Amino acid sequence: MSDPLMATYRRLPVTFTHGEGAWLWDQTGKRYLDALSGIAVCGLGHAHPAVREALCDQAGTLVHTSNLYQIAAQTELGARLTALAGMDRVFFGNSGAEANEAAIKLARLYGHHRGVEKPAILVMENSFHGRTLATLTATGNRKVQAGFEPLVQGFVRVPYDDLAAVETAGAYRHDLVAILVEPLQGEGGIRVPATTYLPRLREICDRHGWLLMLDEIQTGMGRTGKLFAHQHGGILPDVMTLAKGLANGVPIGACLARGAAAEVLGPGTHGSTFGGNPLACRAASAVLAVIEAEGLVARAAERGAQLLAGFRQALAQQPGVRDVRGLGLMIGIELDRPCADLVGRALAAGLLINVTADSVIRLLPPLILEPAQAELLVSELTRLIADFLSTTPPPAHGS
């Protein structure tokens, strides 16, 4: 039988049937510790009763009506989310890329309102913002763009965590109207910028009248040990996008804005058929309630610190390990050689991990991870890394 699915993913040979908390089970009954959470999506773990209840209740009453009408669940979620984020308004879509599309459109309209004829957005090398044409253009990775030219105009790129490059761009490019940046880079290899980076970007944006637009699609919803990663820097963005962890697996994306930026998108300028429908919004509201009730932000910070310290200690004497870094439950272990093979080895051992940027093991476990599960993750993965390094040739000299 030919594969009915387009070959956009090289899928691992496993099918999961059910989950509970940080555990997943496959068709053979084998159990896996999930240290990836469906790529930072299922922060509450699998089959959380509060999410199930919200979904079942809403599915039994009303799933969708369209944005032609008032949607109480959307207004309620919007009020909760904007209050938590210190933002004024929100637009709901169905994915991260859509949330960023809304931000990009908002920035362009903001520029045109200020008389900038061809507004441009400053973006970063090594970034990831999605797979639609505008967001893949914003993405700083040629692999994501190759073959899809012509790309979208209106983006200027500088290195990440490089304030001098931003200042230089500001001095020469009078068409810039916004910066779109991840508070820490996820796909790019769990890169944590200097603590001064976001506060300084905030200053630069204020000086130029640019919008500071933070892509918190991966870093948001408690993942880094704050509800939003920019709270580590003590600043507020003008625009923030969310998606992954927002509804624990039900598709949703959000573009939040503050001040003048919140008033830019008016009737007819943007829209979405599904965006913010009652089902997705009820799920997201349930997620917010659980994050608060179970103290998941603090737990993510604690568990993240435990994992980081655990891996640093366990891997301190391990040749081939270049760096162990992260913030909260976004953890990267960089090896001195490509390590995509580790994903399959871990799967066989009952552990779900990810490798990004060729040689960075990326861990995004659920916020509900228990201390004993974190301990198990450290010991199992340490063993797998040692085994991998001893059976895989080191990189050629000089690379």
In the complex, which residues of this chain contact ligand PLP (CB under 6 A)?
95-97, 100, 128-130, 182, 186-187, 215, 217-218, 243-244
Residue 326 parent element (H or E) = strand 321-327
Burial of 284 per CB tally in 10 Å (0-12, 13-18, 19+): buried
With CA atoms as reference, report the closest residue to 214 among 170, 267, 258, 162: 258
Query: Judged by CB, which is closer to ligand PLP: 100, or 248?
Result: 100
CB of 340 to ligand PLP, least distance (A): 19
Query: Judged by CB, which is closer to ligand PLP: 110, or 128?
Result: 128
Query: Judged by CB, which is closer to ligand PLP: 217, or 307?
Result: 217
Question: Alpha-carbon distance 394 to 247, whole Å?
Answer: 41
Dihedral angle at the C-alpha atoms of 213, 214, 216, 219, nearest 10 degrees?
A: 180
The full DSSP string for 111-127 is: HHHTT-SS-EEEEETT-
62: alpha, beta or left? (left if phi > 0; alpha if psi -120 to 50): beta
Residue nearest to ligand PLP (CB): 96
The question of whether 215 is a catalytic residue gets the answer yes
With CA atoms as reference, report the closest residue to 270 among 83, 119, 80, 67: 67
The full DSSP string for 202-237 is: HHHHHHHT-EEEEE-TTTTTTTTSSSSGGGGTT---
Q: Are 352 and 369 in contact (CB under 8 A)?
A: no
Q: Which of 155, 244, 311, 388 is catalytic?
A: 244
CB of 255 to ligand PLP, least distance (A): 12
CB of 208 to ligand PLP, least distance (A): 24
CB of 219 to ligand PLP, least distance (A): 7
Measured in whole angstroms, how far is the alpha carbon of residue 359 from the centre of its chain? 19
Computed on alpha carbons and rounded to an integer, the radius of gyration of the chain in Å comes to 21
Q: Are 360 and 309 in contact (CB under 8 A)?
A: no
Q: Which of 128, 155, 228, 388 is catalytic?
A: 128
CB of 68 to ligand PLP, least distance (A): 25
The question of whether 16 is a catalytic residue gets the answer no
With CA atoms as reference, report the closest residue to 100 among 127, 79, 129: 129
The question of whether 175 is a catalytic residue gets the answer no
Query: Judged by CB, which is closer to ligand PLP: 96, or 225?
Result: 96
225: alpha, beta or left? (left if phi > 0; alpha if psi -120 to 50): left
Question: Alpha-carbon distance 239 to 123, whole Å?
Answer: 14
Q: Which of 34, 161, 215, 238 is catalytic?
A: 215
Q: Are 140 and 127 in contact (CB under 8 A)?
A: yes
Spell out a b/e string for 338-351, using b for 16 or more CB atoms within 10 Å of the CB, else e.
ebeebbebbbeeeb
How many CB atoms are closer than 10 A to CB 246? Answer: 29
Query: Judged by CB, which is closer to ligand PLP: 96, or 140?
Result: 96
CB of 368 to ligand PLP, least distance (A): 20
Query: Judged by CB, which is closer to ligand PLP: 129, or 208?
Result: 129
CB of 91 to ligand PLP, least distance (A): 15
Query: Judged by CB, which is closer to ligand PLP: 97, or 369?
Result: 97
CB of 315 to ligand PLP, least distance (A): 25
Catalytic residues: 128, 215, 244
